[in-house]
Amino acid sequence: MISICDAFNDIPADWFFSSYGLDTEFLKGRRLNVDLVSWAIQKKLSLMGCDLSDLHLPEVDFSSMDLGSANFENAYLPGANFEGAELGDANFKNACLPGANFEGAELGDANFTKATLDNAHFTRAKLSSATFTCAILSKADFTEADITATGFEGANLDYAIIKDISAAMCTTFKDASLKFARLINYQFFSTSFENAVLTNAELCPGVEKIDASSCDFRNANLRGAKLDGIVFKTTKFAGANFERAELTNVRFEPDSLLYKGVLEGAKLDIGLVEFAISRGLSLADCRLHNLNLKGLDLSGMNLRGAYLCEVDFSSAVISNVNFSGSKISSVVFPDNFDVDSCDFSDVEILSNSGNLSADPLVAKLKKGYEATFYGGKFGVFMKNARTVKFGVKLVEAPLFEPRYRI
Query: What pLDDT is recorded for position 404?
Result: 29
- From the list 401, 353, 349, the residue with the least C-alpha distance to 375 is 401
Q: How far apart are CA 298 and CA 130, in angstroms?
A: 49
Kindly state whether residue 363 falls inside one of the protein's structural domains. yes
In a domain, residue 237? The reply is no
Q: Do residues 187 and 169 make contact, with C-beta atoms less than 8 angstroms apart?
A: no
Helix axis angle, 34-42 to 13-20, nearest 10° = 70
Closest CA to 303 of 279, 278, 328: 328
For residue 363, count other CB atoms closer than 10 A to its CB. Answer: 10
| CA end-to-end distance (rounded Å), the chain | 99
* Count of domains observed in the chain: 2
- How far apart, in whole angstroms, are the C-alpha atoms of residue 388 and residue 370? 7
How many Cβ atoms from other residues are within 10 Å of residue 261's Cβ? 17
Torsion angle in degrees (nearest 10) through CA of 121, 125, 126, 128: 20
Does any domain span residue 241? no
pTM summary value: 0.75
Length of the chain (residues): 406
- Per DSSP, the three-state class of 212 is coil
How far is 140 from 162, CA to CA, in rounded Å?
8
Look at residue 116 in the predicted model and tell me its pLDDT: 98
CATH number at residue 43: 2.160.20.80
Q: Which of 133, 160, 177 is the last residue of a domain?
A: 133
Q: What is the dihedral of CA 319, 321, 324, 330, to 10 degrees?
A: -80
Give the other-Cβ count within 10 Å of 6's Cβ.
9
pLDDT tens digit at each of 406 positions of the chain? 333 344 445 455 555 555 544 455 656 666 778 888 888 888 788 889 989 999 999 999 999 999 999 999 999 999 999 999 999 999 999 999 999 999 999 999 999 999 999 999 999 999 999 999 999 999 999 999 999 999 999 999 999 999 988 767 889 999 999 999 999 988 788 899 999 999 999 998 665 677 788 889 999 999 999 998 888 888 888 888 888 888 888 888 876 777 778 888 888 888 888 888 888 888 998 889 889 998 899 999 999 999 888 888 888 999 999 988 888 887 888 877 777 788 888 787 765 444 444 455 655 554 433 333 333 332 233 333 333 333 445 544 433 333 322 2
The verdict on residue 77 lying in a domain is: yes
What are the strands, taking DSSP E only, across 229-284? 230-232, 246-248, 251-252, 267-268
pLDDT value, residue 233: 84
CA distance 84 to 46: 14
Backbone angles phi, psi at 95, to 5 degrees: -75, 155
Mode of pairing for the β-strands spanning 307-312 and 267-268: unpaired
According to the model, what pLDDT value does residue 326 have? 86
Q: Which residue type does 170 have?
A: C
Task: Tell me the per-residue pLDDT of 54-71, one tens digit each, with 9 for 90 and over.
Answer: 999 999 999 999 999 999
Residues 194, 213: Cα–Cα separation, whole Å: 14
Instruction: Confirm whether 405 is domain-assigned.
Output: yes
Residue range(s) defining the domain that contains residue 12: 1-133
Please enumerate in sequence order all residues whose Cβ is within 8 A of that of 21, keeping only pairs 6 or more positions apart, or say none. Answer: none
pLDDT of residue 125: 97
Q: Of the residues 107, 133, 159, which one is the last residue of a structural domain?
A: 133
Chain Cα centroid distance, residue 108: 25
Rounded-to-integer distance, Cα 304 and Cα 297, Å: 17
Mode of pairing for the β-strands spanning 226-228 and 210-211 = unpaired
The answer to whether the bond into 398 is cis (omega within 30° of 0) is yes
DSSP assignments along 275-290, one per residue: HHHHHT---TT-EEEE
Q: Does 198 map to a domain?
A: no
Q: Is residue 389 part of a domain?
A: yes
Residue 163 inside a domain? The answer is no
Mark which of 133, 156, 189 sits at the end of a domain. Answer: 133
Contacts of 264 (CB under 8 A, 6+ apart): 242, 243, 282, 283, 284, 285, 286
Instruction: Tell which residue, 295, 290, 294, 292, has the closest CA to residue 309.
Output: 290
Name the β-bridge partners of 149. none
Task: Give the span between the Cα atoms of 360 and 5, in whole angstroms.
Answer: 91
